[in-house]
Amino acid sequence: MVEMTQSRGPGRPRSERSRRAVLAAARDLLTDRGLPGLSMDEIATHAGVSKNTIYRWWPTKAAVLMDAFTDAFADRMSVPAEGDALTRLRTTVRRVATLMSDTDARRPFVALVAAAQHDPELAAALRDRFIAGRRAEVGELLADARSAGRLPAGLDPDTAIDLIYGALYYRLLVSGETIDSGYADRILTAMGLLPD
C-alpha cells in the first residue's frame, strides 16, 4: 500500500487531500452558516489551503460549492445500471426524493437554489454542474423506454423531465410537503411512467 502511494509521484496524494479538504470545508460552511457572505478566503482557511490551491481546480466560488454538493451526494442519486429503463427511472426518482427529504442534503441544496436566484454565476454552475447531468441521465432512460416500446412515440422527454423534477422541487422549495419514495411513485403513476 505504501509503495503504491509513493509510486504515484511526490505531491499527488497531498493535492488530492487538499482538494477533498476544500470540498468538505465548502460543504461544512454552507450547511453551518449559509451562502451569504461565504468567501473563498473562508473556504481556504477552513480547509487549511491557500486560495491559489482552490483556484487550481475551480474558477469560481460557485463552482466549488456545486462540486462540494455533488461530491457529497451524487452517488445517492445515481442511475442504477441494472433493470429495464422504467424500473431504473423509478429507482432514480425515488433516490432523488429520498435525498431531498434528508436534512443533510436538503439544507445546502435549498441554500444553493435560493442564492442562485440572485447570483448568475451560481445559477450557471447549478445548471451546468448539477441539473444538466440529472436531466441527461433521465433523458436517456426515457429514450430507452420509448425505443423499447414502453412509452408513446410522441412523448416529449424534456417536458416529462420538467414534470418529474418540477414536482419534486415544488415540494422542496415551495409547499414543504413530504417528499419520499411514495410521492416519487405517485408522480410517475400520474404520468403513466411507472413500470409494470
Residue 113 has pLDDT above 90, yes or no: no
Nearest to 87 by CA among 129, 6, 145: 145
The mean of the pLDDT values for the chain is 84
The pTM of the whole model exceeds 0.85:
no
**pLDDT tens per residue across span 147-161:** 999 988 888 999 999
Q: What is the pLDDT, as a whole number, of residue 12?
A: 45
Task: Spell out a b/e string for 97-133, using b for 16 or more CB atoms within 10 Å of the CB, else e.
Answer: bbbbbeeebeebbebbbebbeebeebbebbeebbeee
Q: What is the pLDDT, as a whole number, of residue 21?
A: 93
Average of per-residue pLDDT across 125-137: 87
Q: What is the pLDDT, as a whole number, of residue 196?
A: 60
% residues pLDDT > 70 (the chain) = 90
**pLDDT tens per residue across span 73-102:** 877 878 888 889 999 999 999 999 998 988
Euclidean distance between the first and the last CA atom of the chain, given in angstroms as a whole number: 48
Average of per-residue pLDDT across 13-40: 80
Amino acid of residue 35: L
Q: What is the pLDDT, as a whole number, of residue 167?
A: 96
C-alpha to C-alpha distance for 36 and 23, rounded to whole angstroms: 18
CA distances from 84 to 65, 74, 130, 144, 152 (A): 34, 21, 25, 9, 16
